[in-house]
Structure 1
Amino acid sequence: MAYLENIRTFVRVYELGSMSAAARDQRISAAVASARIAALEEHLDIRLFQRTTRKLNPTEQGALFYHSALRIIEAVDEAEAEIGQVTRSPRGTLHIAAPLGLGQRIIAPAVPEFKALYPLINIRLRLSDRRLDLATEGLDAMFFLGVPEDSSLRIRKIADCERILCAAPAYIARNGLPETSDSLASGAHDCLNLRYVGAPEFQWPLRTPDGVRRISVSGPFESDHGDALTQWALNGHGIILKPRFEVHDHLEAGRLVPVLESEPPVPIQMACLYPHKRRQDPKARLLIEFMIERILGAMPG
């Protein structure tokens, strides 16, 4: 078991490029991570990394061993998952991620339900509106809004998610309703944007009489937290573009009202992403199917 843990640590050091980052990921100290790598190098009689004061680079032998190490870990994980399935007690830990709106409203509340059904499976949930990298984050699955940039991933489409432009009555009373998409493109209205480090230039795709038009918008506030945008909109600070399920209750209560209904946003794809090599993991499939059922059941009609 110690040898397997050494291999797991090596894989995370290789993927993250940092001993300290791998240690945090595995919830061990940097000293323990370093000792595991040293023990593995001694066992294999090779140097896995070239160490400098600032960088940790894999050697040629280290790069070769990484691919074999991945196969070892995946084989062990799949064997444990299959044994758990046979005994009807799937076990292990799953690392999943979701955007804040979907995660807070649907995924997080469903985690205890899933745990009650499969008590030997532990869930590590990461919520973020930033684009996460599955390999870097060590994720088994990621629920996602949009189109993934990494074509090496498996994608399970869940639904086309309706989106809506909306604002608070106080904002409309002060600024009026935009009559066309030109009103947004001209900067005549305050638009609240989701921004994060590395995000592409943000545009709102709207269905106009002339076809889909991508509108560059701007406003006084931006955030990498989707719920912060919703709160600003509720306080009358601008117009937001949101999946309808995230603001459904606010719309029903009149706290937010639809804007520019004649030129609605293009729906966004909701999907689940997972690495190719983990597609056979029975416990991951259990979780994905369970969460998809919960998501579809929670979507407004």
Structure 2
Amino acid sequence: MSYLESLRVFVRIVELGSITSGGRDLRLSPAVASNRIKDLENRFGVRLLNRTTRKLTPTEIGRAFYDHARRVIDTLDEAEAVVSSFSGKPQGVVRLTAPLGLGRRLIAPLIPPFCADNPGVDFRLRLSDRNVNIIEDAIDLAFFLGEPTDSALKWRKIADCPRLLVASPEYLAAHGTPARPDELIDHNCLLLRYPRSPEYFWVLQTDEGPRKMMVGGRFDTDDGDVLTNWALAGYGIANRPAYEVAADLKTGRLVHVLPDTPPLPSQFGCLTPHRRLQDPKVRMFADYAVRELKKMF
């Protein structure tokens, strides 16, 4: 492995906080990743990382070395992007992230056709309903539902994504169907929550304008598909993107609740870091994905 590749290993280990995670991200075994760090430390005669059984952190000199190594890698990536833009043949890895349900249903199916047309491009798709730090995790493209707030990222809107309140016929038969938003207070509302999650209320569209409803319930989770499954099993009312529950509504497994006062739609789009030169392979996939996804809304 070259010196530059060892730098990449070191940078990812620092960013992800462990040799195992950093190696896995680059498709290396923990032993190989650990040897790359030892090679760098032997090269410079200094310790770059402090290792304990529970935690790995850069030393003071390791932190300074990381800052410079990160800039070297960014510069190299920009140089490769220049070459790719002239050759017309994109090369390298694209790192993507998306919410779980959206990623499974909408993003993952787009990758194989793109790869078939661009055999020099590989993908690393990471799915999570939790907030992802795009800069720290070195993400090239993040598909996103909600309101972007980070000015360090470039936002590209794809569509407004309608949301619906849904419950199973069995739940509504047992607990009644709410006729007004106020009646949600008496129901088991299923919430998407995780540390620092923004969702502790629902905002419904009413004749008087948006209305914040402080809803609650016995169950919450950080996985949107679990919410849908709980609703299907008759445990409560869920606030879900329309595309995720369309088939279940059509078959009658779920019922649209309060259709006259639906939740506010979510903005659906993609985020990329602001860079002087965007990598052609990232730009090409973003253009392709946006074009294909707009057909679905």
Note whether the superposition's TM-score is higher than 0.5.
Answer: yes
Change (3 A) 1:101 1:287: same
Which structure 2 residues correspond to residues 69-80 of structure 1 after superposition, within 5 A?
Answer: 69-80=69-80
Secondary structure of 2:132's partner? Answer: coil
Which structure 2 residues correspond to residues 117-266 of structure 1 after superposition, within 5 A?
Answer: 117-184=117-184, 186=185, 188-200=186-198, 202-266=200-264
Q: In structure 2, what residue type is equivalent to 1:267?
A: P
Q: In structure 2, what residue type is equivalent to 1:207?
A: Q
Partner of 2:267: 269
Q: In structure 2, what residue type is equivalent to 1:285?
A: R
For residues 55 and 129 of structure 2, what CA distance do their matches in structure 1 show? 29
Contact 2:168 2:253 in 1 (8 A): yes
| TM-superposition CA deviations, 1:262-293 (whole Å, max 9, x none) | 32211111121222248611101111111111
Once the two structures are overlaid, the 10-residue window that deviates more, 97-106 or 45-54, is: 45-54
Q: Give the Å deviation of 1:36.
A: 1.8
Secondary structure of 2:284's partner? Answer: helix
Contact 2:81 2:278 in 1 (8 A): no
Percentage identity across paired residues of the two chains: 49
Q: In structure 2, what residue type is equivalent to 1:27?
A: R
Partner of 1:285: 283
For residues 97 and 165 of structure 2, what CA distance do their matches in structure 1 show? 26
For residues 20 and 128 of structure 1, what CA distance do their matches in structure 2 show? 19
Q: Does 1:6 align with 2:6?
A: yes
Change (3 A) 1:162 1:128: same
Which structure 2 residues correspond to residues 14-53 of structure 1 after superposition, within 5 A?
Answer: 14-51=14-51
Partner of 2:82: 82
Q: Give the Å deviation of 1:45.
A: 4.8
Q: Give the Å deviation of 1:46.
A: 4.5
Unmatched segments (≥5 aa) in structure 1: none
* Superposed CA RMSD: 2.4
Once the two structures are overlaid, the 10-residue window that deviates more, 189-198 or 175-184, is: 189-198
Contact 1:279 1:285 in 2 (8 A): no
Change (3 A) 1:174 1:54: closer
Q: Give the Å deviation of 1:78.
A: 2.7
Secondary structure of 2:154's partner? Answer: strand
Q: Give the Å deviation of 1:221.
A: 3.0
Q: Give the Å deviation of 1:51.
A: 4.6
Unmatched segments (≥5 aa) in structure 2: none
Change (3 A) 1:203 1:278: farther
For residues 113 and 278 of structure 1, what CA distance do their matches in structure 2 show? 28
Change (3 A) 1:31 1:163: same
Change (3 A) 1:159 1:58: same
For residues 3 and 107 of structure 2, what CA distance do their matches in structure 1 show? 35
Once the two structures are overlaid, the 10-residue window that deviates more, 42-51 or 145-154, is: 42-51
| TM-superposition CA deviations, 1:148-174 (whole Å, max 9, x none) | 454322222222211111222333333
Q: Give the Å deviation of 1:178.
A: 0.9
For residues 276 and 255 of structure 2, what CA distance do their matches in structure 1 show? 43
Contact 1:189 1:219 in 2 (8 A): yes
Q: Give the Å deviation of 1:94.
A: 1.0
Change (3 A) 1:234 1:156: same
Contact 1:81 1:92 in 2 (8 A): no
For residues 214 and 94 of structure 1, what CA distance do their matches in structure 2 show? 38
For residues 158 and 71 of structure 1, what CA distance do their matches in structure 2 show? 31
